[in-house]
Amino acid sequence: MEIDSNTSFLNRIPSFMPGISMDFVVFGYKERTLHILMLKYLNTDAWALPGGFLPKDAEMDKVAHAILEDRTGVSNIFLDQFYTFNSLNRGWDCNDVSRNAFEKLRETWNKEEKETLDEWFGQRFISTAYLSLMNAQEVVPDPDYISDDCAWVPIEELPSVVLDHELMIQKALEYIRLRINYLPIGRSLLEEKFTMSDLQALYEAILGRKMDAGNFQRKMKKLNMLNRHEKLMTGAANKAPYLYSINDEVYDRLLEQGIGFT
Amino acid sequence: MEIDSNTSFLNRIPSFMPGISMDFVVFGYKERTLHILMLKYLNTDAWALPGGFLPKDAEMDKVAHAILEDRTGVSNIFLDQFYTFNSLNRGWDCNDVSRNAFEKLRETWNKEEKETLDEWFGQRFISTAYLSLMNAQEVVPDPDYISDDCAWVPIEELPSVVLDHELMIQKALEYIRLRINYLPIGRSLLEEKFTMSDLQALYEAILGRKMDAGNFQRKMKKLNMLNRHEKLMTGAANKAPYLYSINDEVYDRLLEQGIGFT
DNA sequence: TCAAAAGTGTTTCCAATACACCCATGA
DNA sequence: TCATGGGTGTATTGGAAACACTTTTGA
């Protein structure tokens, strides 16, 4: 399915389920750091997670894929629903950042639009949040109709965000840590070919702790999920590391029962 | 908060968020078997999970507690949101059981009610599902306005159920198994005092596999989360087991970081 | 004295960790 | 030849699992 970008957002409002939205915590990995895909709203300094609404006649998962494909150009995205945020106090007046952002955003609306949009965004929303994983290196994100920037933000330098998006990010981090053994982080977050220390750095970034390189290497090899390729000559004055790629068949099997990896 | 049972369901419909519902997979434990709390709809043989709708001005978690308190009489219920079901094809016409049950149910409605109720139940619904845990032995469940029976059904003998409730149960089972180390199963599912083999049988029921009694006992003791009490004299011709209770302080601490128990 | 379940002791195995040490690479 | 990571070897520890064995209970 595709986002219908010929029809204006305003005109599509009646086709959406009222009170239901979706948000996406998209983890990307580059420069050995976890990043999150974020949008900067039009005319503001406020950042937000990508999101969208649910057409009455569409499957939520398909809409989710379509929205993210629209943002990133990537199809075949890994997506996992992780929580539905439902607090009464998660509207645009829940904190200063949101209030200000919403005011600024309203200034970009015409007089005719204002009534409908105010009503729509003023509703109580329940938002189902998805976790997504992609290789930040090869994805150049695009803003949507409501924002003028879309970028990978390093997880250590998160800006102030609107609504309850900070809580969403926090919950997503808990989720990815808890389910690391069941999520295709190796396949979704890395390049096709990677070194063992790339992979280790990824695990360290997610789990937030250092590991022993020797032990990491042995454990990974034992799982039998990696194909070894040629060495990577970086020009650095040290032993050149092997490149690896993922053996999809074995990887899928391991993921099903949970990769045994602490 | 309390369910307002003076006002009829019909009159409360306008106060609900449209298109949003809640369902509950309530696990209970008795007779060494996992049970699920189920309702039998009025005038039908169709069973369903307990559920409800979300008043526009209420917190979902509070409503969840209120609904289950209404069903079971228990306050302080353990509840954990685990998934939001959103398929387009989860309405009352999604399968034969649901279609038939809905027809039978409609026969119990007055002419005046029919239009409103048809419209309400005919909507597309997104349903947020909660996992709950309680001691089935001490809970005598009550039917709600839509059903004439409410009972603990052994998990091995589940009847045919309406809508996507079977999928919900399956997902809830996956969830409880995956998160067993983070859920207060010992505290929520057992009596105040229990024997070690009660506890072991509970783990076995949830995980669906047998364990070695000796090893189980030693592992549990090492966690230091149990207080030992007097022996339980059953009259059986064998050594009497000690009774244990849970040391809440230690238990809470263990649950936070995940009880180390495979 | 016996059967049955509770509970303890013991052995074996393997994963996790720590860390020493060798290897390859370019300066 | 040196510094720097890559990668291997090895010793230690502790938990998991298997199972023999002892204890307690009422018949």
CB contact under 8 A, A88 and B126: no
Q: What's the mean pLDDT in B98-110?
A: 90
| pLDDT of amino acid A41 | 83
The DSSP 8-state label assigned to residue B154 in this structure reads E
Cβ A169 vs Cβ A130: under 8 Å:
no
Cβ count within 10 A of residue A223 = 14
Task: Measure A259 CA to D6 C1' (Å).
Answer: 25
The DSSP 8-state label assigned to residue A14 in this structure reads G
The DSSP 8-state label assigned to residue B108 in this structure reads T
Residue A214 corresponds to which tokens in the numbers above?
Answer: 């020797």
Find the closest chain A residue to B86 by CA distance: A60
- Among residues B44, B152, B175, the alpha carbon closest in space to that of B97 is found at B44
Cβ B176 vs Cβ B69: under 8 Å:
no
Which nucleotides in chain C have some atom under 7 angstroms from a protein Cβ?
A: 2-10, 15-20, 23-27
State how far the Cα of A65 lies from the Cα of B218, in Å rounded to an integer.
Answer: 48
| pLDDT of amino acid B226 | 95
- Mean pLDDT of all residues in chain B? 92
Cβ count within 10 A of residue B22 = 23
Quick one: pLDDT band at residue B3, thresholds 50, 70, 90? low
State how far the alpha carbon of B247 is from the alpha carbons of B75, B135, B186, B187, B254, in Å: 21, 18, 11, 9, 11
Quick one: pLDDT band at residue A1, thresholds 50, 70, 90? low
| pLDDT of amino acid B42 | 76
State how far the Cα of B129 lies from the Cα of B168, in Å rounded to an integer.
Answer: 7
The per-residue DSSP string of B162-225 comes to STTHHHHHHHHHHHHHHTGGGS-HHHHHS-SSEEHHHHHHHHHHHHTS---HHHHHHHHHHHT-
Asked whether residue B208 carries a pLDDT value surpassing 60, the answer given is yes
| pLDDT of amino acid B149 | 83
Asked whether residue A52 carries a pLDDT value surpassing 80, the answer given is yes
| pLDDT of amino acid A234 | 84
Closest chain B C-alpha to A17 CA, distance in angstroms: 7
CB contact under 8 A, A84 and B81: yes
| pLDDT of amino acid A2 | 55
| pLDDT of amino acid B43 | 78
CB contact under 8 A, A60 and B86: yes
Q: What's the mean pLDDT in B135-140?
A: 87
C-alpha dihedral (B105, B109, B114, B118), degrees to nearest 10 = -20
| pLDDT of amino acid B202 | 96
Quick one: pLDDT band at residue B57, thresholds 50, 70, 90? very high
State how far the Cα of B200 lies from the Cα of B216, in Å rounded to an integer.
Answer: 7
- One-letter amino acid at B184 equals P
A19 touches chain B (CB under 8 A): yes
Asked whether residue B206 carries a pLDDT value surpassing 80, the answer given is yes
| pLDDT of amino acid B191 | 94
Q: What is the pLDDT of residues A128-138, one digit of tens each?
A: 999 999 999 88
Q: What is the pLDDT of residues A16-32, one digit of tens each?
A: 999 999 999 999 999 89
Quick one: pLDDT band at residue A8, thresholds 50, 70, 90? confident
User: Which residue matches tokens 């305003």?
Assistant: A10
Cβ B38 vs Cβ B49: under 8 Å:
yes
Q: What's the mean pLDDT in B162-185?
A: 95
Q: What is the pLDDT of residues A65-120, one digit of tens each?
A: 999 999 899 999 999 999 999 999 999 999 999 999 999 889 888 898 999 999 99
Look at B144 and B81; give whichever has higher pLDDT: B81
Instruction: List all residues of chain A from 161 to 200 with a beta carbon under 8 Å from chain B.
Output: 178-179, 182
A64 touches chain B (CB under 8 A): no
Cβ A81 vs Cβ A93: under 8 Å:
no
Q: What is the pLDDT of residues A148-200, one digit of tens each?
A: 788 999 999 999 999 999 999 999 999 999 999 999 999 999 999 999 999 99
3-state secondary structure of A105: helix
A54 touches chain B (CB under 8 A): yes
- Cβ-based contacts with strand D at under 7 Å: A 195-197, 213-215, 217-218, 221, 231, 237-242; B 212, 214-215, 219, 231, 233, 235-240, 260-262
| pLDDT of amino acid A24 | 98
Quick one: pLDDT band at residue B257, thresholds 50, 70, 90? confident
Task: Measure B206 CA to C2 C1' (Å).
Answer: 35
The per-residue DSSP string of A189-202 comes to HS-SSEEHHHHHHH
B122 touches chain A (CB under 8 A): no
Asked whether residue B1 carries a pLDDT value surpassing 60, the answer given is no
- Phi, psi dihedral angles at A101 (to 5 degrees): -60, -40
Closest chain B C-alpha to A84 CA, distance in angstroms: 7
Q: What's the mean pLDDT in B238-251?
A: 95
Asked whether residue B203 carries a pLDDT value surpassing 70, the answer given is yes
Closest chain B C-alpha to A26 CA, distance in angstroms: 19
C-alpha dihedral (B245, B246, B248, B252), degrees to nearest 10 = -170
Strands (E), A51-111: 51-55, 78-85
Q: What's the mean pLDDT in B84-113?
A: 93
| pLDDT of amino acid A59 | 97
Quick one: pLDDT band at residue B236, thresholds 50, 70, 90? confident
Closest chain A C-alpha to B233 CA, distance in angstroms: 42
Helix B111-122 and helix B96-106: axis angle, to 10°? Answer: 150
Residue A223 corresponds to which tokens in the numbers above?
Answer: 């799982």
Task: Measure B30 CA to D24 C1' (Å).
Answer: 27
Report the b/e string of B117-146 with b at 16+ CB within 10 A: beebeeebbbbbbbbbbbbbeebebebbee
Cβ count within 10 A of residue B31 = 10
Residue A68 corresponds to which tokens in the numbers above?
Answer: 């993210």
Q: What is the pLDDT of residues B33-53, one digit of tens each?
A: 999 999 988 778 889 999 999
Asked whether residue B193 carries a pLDDT value surpassing 60, the answer given is yes
A207 touches chain B (CB under 8 A): no
Quick one: pLDDT band at residue A207, thresholds 50, 70, 90? very high
* A178 neighbourhood in chain B, CB within 8 Å: 179, 182
